[in-house]
């Protein structure tokens, strides 16, 4: 039993690293595709526009504010993956962007669409993997998880659609350009992540017996 728990712990850590790094790669692909940013980027950019400041400045401010709220409401969602997300997502995004810049200096629309789709579905898979690892999530991701799991407002997929839609609407009102990638992510990320949780990530982590089976 102890050996099983030890193995499970390291599998969860590996899943956290995988999820965060792939998320960064997907952000880089989104940036290169230039067909709309992810919802949280829209939100942070919109708030920055209000104060005539930069995205990087308000990304830190908004993330820090959300993280403080998460700490007092449900600090369970703050863990090693939160720190991994904080320090490695940006580096992974920049790394992927440099690779794509080298391979596709001036991509056509077909290539941009492929990059966008990679960004969307890759983000869904990565989010599912590191949500399931349950070693902490980003401050923004915690919002929909808390709404679904702590307050039982709606199923996770609906809570995610709600938070993403609020971010996109805020960005639009604050004169952020909304692209097709933004709309697709806002409407479909929640349901797709939930599907991957049930059919891929949880079976991979816990095996056929599921989460409850590992407690026996």
Question: What is the average per-residue pLDDT within 114-143?
Answer: 93
- Report whether pLDDT(213) > 70: no
Query: Looking at residue 89, what is its pLDDT?
Result: 83
- Report whether pLDDT(120) > 90: yes
The percentage of the chain sitting over the pLDDT mark of 70, rounded to a whole number, equals 93
Query: Looking at residue 210, what is its pLDDT?
Result: 56
Q: Which of 26-35, 61-70, 82-91, 153-162 is predicted with the least confidence, judged by mean pLDDT? A: 82-91
- Dihedrals φ, ψ of 80, to 5°? -60, -35
- Report whether pLDDT(137) > 70: yes
- pLDDT tens across 26-47, in order? 988 988 999 988 899 899 889 9
Query: Looking at residue 84, what is its pLDDT?
Result: 84
Q: Which of 82-96, 101-115, 152-166, 194-208 is predicted with the least confidence, judged by mean pLDDT? A: 82-96
- Please state, rounded to an integer, the average pLDDT across all residues of the chain: 89
Question: What is the average per-residue pLDDT within 53-70?
Answer: 86
- Report whether pLDDT(154) > 60: yes
The better pLDDT of the pair 162, 54 is held by: 162
Kindly report the pTM of this predicted structure: 0.81
- Report whether pLDDT(53) > 90: no
The percentage of the chain sitting over the pLDDT mark of 90, rounded to a whole number, equals 62
Question: What is the average per-residue pLDDT within 180-208?
Answer: 91
Q: Which of 53-62, 158-167, 184-193 is predicted with the least confidence, judged by mean pLDDT? A: 53-62
Question: What is the average per-residue pLDDT within 80-90?
Answer: 83
Spatial neighbors of 171 by CB under 8 A, at least 6 apart, are 39, 42, 43, 45, 46, 178, 182
């Amino acid at each position: 039993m102890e050996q099983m728990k030890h193995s499970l712990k390291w599998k969860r850590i590996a899943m956290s690293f995988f999820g965060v790094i792939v998320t960064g790669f997907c952000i880089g692909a989104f940036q290169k595709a230039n067909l709309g940013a992810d919802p949280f980027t829209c939100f942070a950019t919109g708030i920055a526009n209000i104060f005539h400041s930069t995205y990087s400045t308000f990304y830190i401010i908004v993330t820090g504010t959300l993280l403080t709220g998460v700490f007092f409401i449900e600090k369970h969602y703050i863990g090693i993956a939160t720190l991994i997300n904080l320090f490695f997502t940006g580096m992974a995004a920049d790394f992927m962007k440099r690779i794509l810049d080298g391979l596709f200096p001036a991509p056509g629309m077909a290539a941009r669409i492929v990059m966008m789709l990679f960004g969307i579905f890759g983000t869904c898979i990565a989010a599912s993997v590191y949500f399931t690892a349950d070693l902490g999530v980003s401050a923004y991701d915690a919002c929909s998880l808390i709404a679904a799991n702590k307050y039982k407002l709606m199923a996770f997929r609906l809570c995610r659609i709600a938070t993403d839609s609020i971010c996109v609407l805020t960005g639009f009102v604050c004169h952020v350009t909304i692209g097709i990638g933004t709309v697709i992510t806002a409407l479909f990320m929640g349901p797709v992540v939930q599907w991957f949780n049930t059919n891929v990530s949880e079976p991979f982590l816990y095996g056929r017996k599921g989460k409850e089976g590992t407690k026996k």
